[in-house]
Structure 1
Amino acid sequence: MGLGKTISTLIAIERLMYDYFDIKKVLLIAPKKVAESTWAQETQKWSATRRLMVAKVLGSEKERIQALESESDVYVINRENVQWLYEYYRKKKSFPFDMLVIDESSSFKNPQAKRFKAIRKLRPLFKRIVILTGTPAPNTLLDIWAQMYLLDGGERLGKTITEYRTRYFTPDKTNGHVVYSYRLQPGGDKAIFSKMQDICMSLKAKDYLTLPERIENVITVEMNPKEWELYKQMEREHVLSLASDDDVSALNAAALAGKLLQLANGSIYNDDGEIVVVHNEKIERLKELVETNEGKPMLVFYNFKHDLQSIKEAFPKAVELKTDDDVAKWNKGNIQMLLAHPASAGYGLNLQAGGNIIVWYGLTWSLEQYQQANARLHRQGQTQPVIIHHLVTKGTMDEQVMKALERKEAGQDALLEAIKYRKELYKE
């Protein structure tokens, strides 16, 4: 992350298009906020790429079609519209693109997702394919297969995910015929890397850059006795509402973990969709952080909508990251508190000029989102030590998420183990 994937790719496109006349039109798939700003801005930032014309295939269907019909070099679309793009050109029975670039390709790691299935059908129509990611295997090397398939059509790691699993993995956690997780066979990682190495390039920041120090800080948040009793009562009800059998499905575990993390943050939605406030301790700690840091800019990552609402109420001048203008104002030092969700603002944005302090108001189970979000400030161009504060509510699910992130184990397996642990706490 932060080693120049964007500009490297743009220079390659410029040369292939205007020096070698090898390609004519490039389809570029990226996260929405990156599609809106990063690629177009990067072309204008460097003299070597300024003649590249970028069309943003975004907005309403009419606006997307208008962009596709424009005379441009690179057509940037967000990944949520890949299925729409496939249907659009299937009806037209023509396809204008000869090069594909997928930015943050780990968002295509799920072979069952509609976006993967759509681009899989379009894949043979491209002459050249480039995929980019700072987190190629955020949870497990199982995540690699779909991304590699988009590169080589299954030539190296197998035509199907089943073939890949059978060759390099063995079942780990099971329940009869149901397999919940897989583990690598001995030497499996080396065998996989050996297959991939002729068409993949991997660069690590530590080998090429001297980045400022990164300081991790866990701030323990404690509820008062009354709040703690209310929390325990609500957590117990939610945990015991789960099926009593020993095996917890990933879907149920994810839903329950979400509720427990909401409680840890201070609020939860009831069955009527209303917000029930349990405590305001995280808001109070955030106020202390702002006071302690004497108004220095802070990038605050939240998890739930009611967290965003609570922060906005406590800090009326806080700005929710939505537009290119918000990014520009932050990097100019005109925003004291920038609020962002790691799923939408954790990829591809350059925010290092605006500050050096990150606050995780609400934690995420996604190691990929966590790493990518932190890299918005801790990247090339940052001149100050980056301080990452984590607000962790004592005795709650927060602690288990934090431990999993520290061990770089966050993901479905860690989530399931955390839920089983909390079930044990309330067994009679």
Structure 2
Amino acid sequence: MTVFVPHKYQEYAIERIIDTEFIALLLEMGLGKTVSTLTAIDKLLNDYFEIEKVLVVAPLRVADDTWAREVEKWDHLRHLRISKVLGSADQRRKALAAEADIYVINRENVEWLVGEIGPTNWPFDTVVIDELSSFKNHQSKRFKALRRVRPKMKRVIGLTGTPAPNGLIDLWSQIYLLDQGERLGKTIGGYRDRYFVPGQRSGHTVYEWKQKKESEERIYEAIGDIAVSMKAEDWLDLPERIDRTVPIRLSDKAWALYKKLERDLLLPYADADVVASTAAVLSNKLLQMASGAVYDEDRGVKEIHDAKLDALDDIIEAAQGKPVMVFYNFQHSLNRIQQRFPYAKTLRKGKDGVEDIRAWNNDETPLLLLHPKSAGHGLNLQESSCQTVVWYDQIWSLEEDQQANARVYRQGQTRSVIILRLVAEGTMDEEVVKAIEEKAAGQEEMKQALKARIERVRDDA
């Protein structure tokens, strides 16, 4: 057990949760959103008697591990009873029937939960939405399900470090789940009309919404009374973080194959061709090739080069026995890394995954391979002596990039951390890293970067 001595910003966050019936904690990664929220919930349950039954909606791995582990970690929270509403339908029903203070469910089962209980019998007066940004799609089933039962909730707490990863257009549905449309409007249409103008469109279908002048200021002013925004750099005295690019030079043969696919959109092979039929497919194929392999039309793997594997070998050797964390994006990258380094581990699901986290934090795992989508939220992996994080594959998502890096570089880290990106020279890797560095990564940036590359290739032809 650990004694909880809150930082000043945590004291403020706890007070705001208690004083505000619906609130968004827009706290950056590493600021201890979970323990602050649990502390406020404990006070509301057991000191003020203002709430009775709490539901936490979270990403699956976070639901399975983080909330229960935080209760076990802190001495002032150990009396709280957690029931994990996970697993099969029968297991979920059993967990719902159990006596507990806090019920934790993964976001994929929100629709099931609302259907199982029904709006009329909804028992949870307090709902915590861990990673509020995962409800940014107003057309998603999970959003529509929570919207049905929102009037039954007395308190709503939304937690996220990245509320608008693709722009302020994402905010409406998140804020609606807090205040039922009081601040940004009752409908997404009204929100768009008020703060945005149509951009790219096809007939009546608008594919892009552009902010009106001063919209950002007006939106943040509208939600300011229910949003607590804090940046880690303003509050934490973290050790140094060093970001470096490791240039990877492709062999003449690999470079020729890369340029051929970029130019012709086709790599012919005897058994199955590699074909890029759309801009998105081409971007993905080029990133695969930059990392050393590419899928053909039959989902077979064509190996292109080993340059990144060789670079990773050098990095592991330079770490001198300290753990190394590697992020991959492609399954064939994972497979090839595991073939080169058989001792590498991945995070499993359920109880096995909890054991994997324990082993990593106790320096029992020398090389941990993670996918940014499955390891992006809620995992506390900073207790190991790892100081080296490697991005083997490059990704377009700024949100996933930030969340993934924060698994190690977060509150509790006492050592400097170096973030290394393996970047194949002259390839799409460079475009991705440029977008990430400019903090403008996303689907549109991918399309524009690819369009520019294709134009350059054609001009050189």
Flag whether TM exceeds 0.5 (same fold): yes
1:316 aligns with 2:316: no
Q: Which aligned pairs between 1:27-426 and structure 2 lie closer than 5 A?
A: 27-90=55-118, 94-174=121-201, 177-238=204-265, 252-322=278-348, 323-354=353-384, 355-426=386-457
Q: CA–CA distance in 2 between the matches of 1:161 and 1:237?
A: 42
Amino acid at match of 2:292: G
8 A contact 1:23–1:99 mirrored in 2: yes
Alpha-carbon shift at residue 395 of structure 1 (Å): 1.6
8 A contact 1:181–1:413 mirrored in 2: no
Amino acid at match of 2:184: L
Alpha-carbon shift at residue 352 of structure 1 (Å): 0.9
Amino acid at match of 1:327: I
8 A contact 1:239–1:423 mirrored in 2: no
TM-score normalised according to structure 1 size:
0.94
TM-score normalised according to structure 2 size:
0.87
Q: Residue 227 of structure 2: SS of its match in structure 1?
A: coil
Range moving further from structure 2, 289-298 or 368-377: 289-298
Give the match for residue 246 of structure 1.
none
- Which 5+ residue runs of structure 2 have no aligned equivalent? 1-28, 268-274
Alpha-carbon shift at residue 79 of structure 1 (Å): 1.1
Alpha-carbon shift at residue 314 of structure 1 (Å): 0.8
8 A contact 2:394–2:429 mirrored in 1: yes
Alpha-carbon shift at residue 94 of structure 1 (Å): 2.2
Alpha-carbon shift at residue 165 of structure 1 (Å): 1.7
Alpha-carbon shift at residue 147 of structure 1 (Å): 0.8
8 A contact 1:30–1:103 mirrored in 2: yes
Q: CA–CA distance in 1 between the matches of 2:335 and 2:179?
A: 45
Q: Which aligned pairs between 1:10-21 and structure 2 lie closer than 5 A?
A: 10-21=38-49
Q: Which runs of 4+ in 1 moved over 6 A?
A: 239-243
For 1:179-222, what per-residue CA distance to the aligned partner results, in whole angstroms no more than 9, with x for missing partners? 33222222111101110011111111122111111100001111
8 A contact 2:54–2:103 mirrored in 1: yes
Q: Residue 399 of structure 1: SS of its match in structure 2?
A: helix
Q: CA–CA distance in 2 between the matches of 1:239 and 1:57?
A: 48
Q: Residue 190 of structure 1: SS of its match in structure 2?
A: helix
CA RMSD of aligned residues (A): 1.8
Amino acid at match of 2:332: H
Q: Residue 246 of structure 2: SS of its match in structure 1?
A: strand
Give the match for residue 10 of structure 2.
none
Amino acid at match of 2:115: E
Q: CA–CA distance in 2 between the matches of 1:140 and 1:8?
A: 27
Range moving further from structure 2, 188-197 or 80-89: 80-89
Q: CA–CA distance in 2 between the matches of 1:140 and 1:367?
A: 12
- Which 5+ residue runs of structure 1 have no aligned equivalent? 244-251
For 1:308-350, what per-residue CA distance to the aligned partner results, in whole angstroms no more than 9, with x for missing partners? 1111111111110220111111111111111111111111111
Q: CA–CA distance in 2 between the matches of 1:405 and 1:10?
A: 33
Alpha-carbon shift at residue 409 of structure 1 (Å): 0.4
8 A contact 1:300–1:339 mirrored in 2: yes
Percentage of identical aligned residues? 51
Alpha-carbon shift at residue 31 of structure 1 (Å): 1.0
Aligned length: 419
Alpha-carbon shift at residue 171 of structure 1 (Å): 2.8
Give the match for residue 37 of structure 2.
9
Q: Residue 279 of structure 1: SS of its match in structure 2?
A: coil
Q: Residue 202 of structure 1: SS of its match in structure 2?
A: strand
Q: Residue 21 of structure 1: SS of its match in structure 2?
A: coil
Q: CA–CA distance in 2 between the matches of 1:112 and 1:264?
A: 35
8 A contact 1:30–1:102 mirrored in 2: yes
Q: Residue 49 of structure 2: SS of its match in structure 1?
A: coil
Q: CA–CA distance in 2 between the matches of 1:20 and 1:6?
A: 20
Amino acid at match of 1:318: A
8 A contact 2:62–2:378 mirrored in 1: yes
Amino acid at match of 1:383: T
8 A contact 2:258–2:286 mirrored in 1: no
Amino acid at match of 2:152: L
Q: CA–CA distance in 2 between the matches of 1:86 and 1:232?
A: 52
8 A contact 2:122–2:149 mirrored in 1: no
Alpha-carbon shift at residue 174 of structure 1 (Å): 4.4
Alpha-carbon shift at residue 172 of structure 1 (Å): 3.5
Alpha-carbon shift at residue 169 of structure 1 (Å): 1.7
Q: CA–CA distance in 2 between the matches of 1:95 and 1:378?
A: 39
8 A contact 1:170–1:184 mirrored in 2: yes
Distance 1:120 1:239, change over 3 A: farther
